[in-house]
Structure 1
């Protein structure tokens, strides 16, 4: 049994298919299939059953995966710990940072920490919380700073660091928004909406419903923050965005028209029982001191 074989099993579970898993681990589908077969021979039973929608774990496979996550994560932490022990200032730290966290004071805290420790390499990985939880389990990141859309997991420690307000954004001098004192004043507006407000959907719907207004309907939908900002700057469309994303852009205006009811808590997430290097520990201390 080899570590890479366990990594291959986890890749199949996360991708749901041999094709997707092979792409993730950089192997051909045939090579990945052989690796899984060798692991099954070593263990003495089948780990997967082929189904029309992909690969499904057997009961034995579920047991193996449960332990494989611990083994792979431990190996990742061992490598990180060994690197850290070679010297904090020559170490490396990997952080998961969500788009919202990146634009807030949290993101700026990471930048200040990096400036204060120029010899410490800090890799910042973009993503969302469900991706970060998987990366924490695999030992690929030391911590994540993110809003949260998935349930807390027993294996992950979660601590709130900050809260980011959301509001209505439009171009500077927007004819409707500049005069608006209530959400009712935005009636008939055109909207560009993203798919990153899931955690606020109920609060947004309630705010409009309380005033007898329908929830905004998209003229455009996007997953690109850059496109949303471009659309706002060059048109009369409106969007629901976090304040920090708009604060330093002279081309935009931002208003809270819901009395602070729309807010995203931003969390520090790390794996329980994980060994944190000196750099990671110092960053956590800095984040807690600056943002709590």
Structure 2
């Protein structure tokens, strides 16, 4: 049985079709089909149902699946260890991270990791959970570290999750904003202000708007949204806009005193910061070390926050 054929088989299962598997593996669909046909001939069994647009496993395909994953994992671990032995390195870890965790949590964790294991290779990809989690399942990433907002990503039994800490969504403004020094702001004072939101706030945005509706008020109408953190920061800094963000995204601005969290009763929401890995797989040594470094960094961040003055 050819390992390449097994990996073609796994790619089709992971991506749900021959077309998507071919694109993900960088092979032609013809080459992929040829490899799986050869595997079926060797086994004497069909692995996928024919005549369906999606890749539907037969009974023989389902039987093969668990064994193929086990074999592929074992060979990949061997390949990693062999590369470490040949290069003198200590392996590598591939990380996906969201904007709220990249600087305030992941960076300190990686710095601590490299202080103790300087030969571990670290590769970091930025993005949001709906982009990063498919890359995790496709084995392009080893771990995804991001803020969880309900509705941002579907539950998937192939993904294991761990809560590292919690972050808090707050209403933020430039220290120069007219409302910046007002204590216990009323909701009504926020309605006519200009707002800039990041994308994919999920249920946090719903909760934000519901606060106004529950008080018999219409939510702010003068709003914009953007996928550009730089643009959002510029409008808050220079344009007098308010925003709704996790505190860790604005960690540097709050710490320097350039931004403040407005004192608005009921306008804060806790959300967990998650580490996602593939479920049911043994962790490589570099990944295990990174996860421990993340836990340590999260614990230290919590200690700093308990001992720090108010964000105001």
Name which of structure 1's ranges 105-114 and 247-256 shifts more when overlaid on structure 2: 247-256
Q: What does 1:146-157 align with in structure 2 at a 5 Å threshold?
A: 146-148=146-148, 149-150=152-153, 153-157=156-160
Matched, 1:26 2:30: no
Q: Is the 8 A contact 2:5 2:36 kept in 1?
A: yes
Following TM superposition, by how much is the alpha carbon of 1:161 offset from its aligned partner in structure 2, in angstroms? 1.2
TM-score by length of 2: 0.73
Report the CA distance shift for 1:267/1:81 in structure 2 as closer, same or farther (over 3 A): farther
Q: Residue deviations 1:178-212, cap 9 Å, x none?
A: 54724332102333323331252443344333333
Aligned to 2:120: 120
Report the CA distance shift for 1:49/1:233 in structure 2 as closer, same or farther (over 3 A): farther
Secondary structure of the equivalent of 1:174?
coil
Aligned to 1:45: 46
Aligned to 2:170: 167
Following TM superposition, by how much is the alpha carbon of 1:160 offset from its aligned partner in structure 2, in angstroms? 1.2
Aligned to 2:109: 109
TM-score by length of 1: 0.77
Secondary structure of the equivalent of 2:239?
coil
Secondary structure of the equivalent of 2:54?
strand
C-alpha distance in 2 between matches for 1:69 and 1:119: 28
Matched, 1:283 2:290: yes
Higher Rg of the two aligned structures: 2
C-alpha distance in 1 between matches for 2:88 and 2:294: 18
Q: Residue deviations 1:204-227, cap 9 Å, x none?
A: 344333333344557433333233
Secondary structure of the equivalent of 1:162?
strand
Q: Residue deviations 1:4-42, cap 9 Å, x none?
A: 344444544555555443332222343334334434444
Report the CA distance shift for 1:254/1:67 in structure 2 as closer, same or farther (over 3 A): farther
Report the CA distance shift for 1:245/1:41 in structure 2 as closer, same or farther (over 3 A): same
Aligned to 1:245: 249
C-alpha distance in 2 between matches for 1:245 and 1:38: 51
Secondary structure of the equivalent of 2:200?
coil
C-alpha distance in 1 between matches for 2:68 and 2:230: 39
Report the CA distance shift for 1:38/1:185 in structure 2 as closer, same or farther (over 3 A): farther
Aligned to 1:204: 208
Aligned to 1:271: 278
Report the CA distance shift for 1:284/1:252 in structure 2 as closer, same or farther (over 3 A): same
Q: What are the ranges of 5 or more consecutive residues in structure 1 without an aligned counterpart? A: none
Following TM superposition, by how much is the alpha carbon of 1:157 offset from its aligned partner in structure 2, in angstroms? 3.6
C-alpha distance in 2 between matches for 1:169 and 1:94: 32
Secondary structure of the equivalent of 2:286?
helix
Secondary structure of the equivalent of 1:122?
strand
Q: Residue deviations 1:89-143, cap 9 Å, x none?
A: 5322222322222133343222332244332211123344455554454544333
Q: What does 1:51-200 align with in structure 2 at a 5 Å threshold?
A: 55-60=54-59, 68-83=68-83, 90-129=90-129, 132-148=132-148, 149-150=152-153, 153-176=156-179, 179=182, 181-200=185-204
C-alpha distance in 1 between matches for 2:187 and 2:50: 53
C-alpha distance in 2 between matches for 1:128 and 1:68: 30
Name which of structure 1's ranges 61-70 and 27-36 shifts more when overlaid on structure 2: 61-70
Secondary structure of the equivalent of 2:194?
coil
Q: Is the 8 A contact 1:136 1:271 kept in 2?
A: yes
How many pairs does the alignment contain?
290
Name which of structure 1's ranges 37-46 and 156-165 shifts more when overlaid on structure 2: 37-46
Secondary structure of the equivalent of 2:79?
helix
Report the CA distance shift for 1:184/1:9 in structure 2 as closer, same or farther (over 3 A): farther
Q: What are the ranges of 5 or more consecutive residues in structure 2 without an aligned counterpart? A: 300-312
